[in-house]
Amino acid sequence: MLQRIIICLIVGYLCGCFSTSYFIGKANNIDIRKYGSGNAGTTNALRTLGMKAGALTLLGDALKAIIPILIVSFLVFQNRADVSLLALYTGLGVVLGHNFPFWLNFKGGKGIAATGGVMLAFDWRLGLVAFIVFSVSVAVTRYVSVGSLLISLLFPVAVLVFYPGNIHMLVISFLFTILAFVKHRANIQRLMKGTENKLGQKIKIEDK
How far is Cα 66 from Cα 62, in angstroms, rounded to an integer? 6
- Tell me the C-alpha to C-alpha distance, in Å, between residue 143 and each of 32, 55, 111, 132, 152: 20, 17, 16, 15, 15
Structure confidence by residue, pLDDT tens digits, 106-131: 988 999 999 999 999 999 999 999 99
Of residues 84, 82, 162, the one with CA closest to residue 121: 84
3-state secondary structure of 73: helix
How far is Cα 41 from Cα 155, in angstroms, rounded to an integer? 20
Higher-pLDDT residue of 198 and 17 is: 17
- Is the pLDDT confidence value at 201 over 80? no
Q: What is the pLDDT of residue 208?
A: 40
* Per-domain boundaries in the chain: 2-207
pTM for this prediction:
0.90
For residues 155-172, average pLDDT: 95
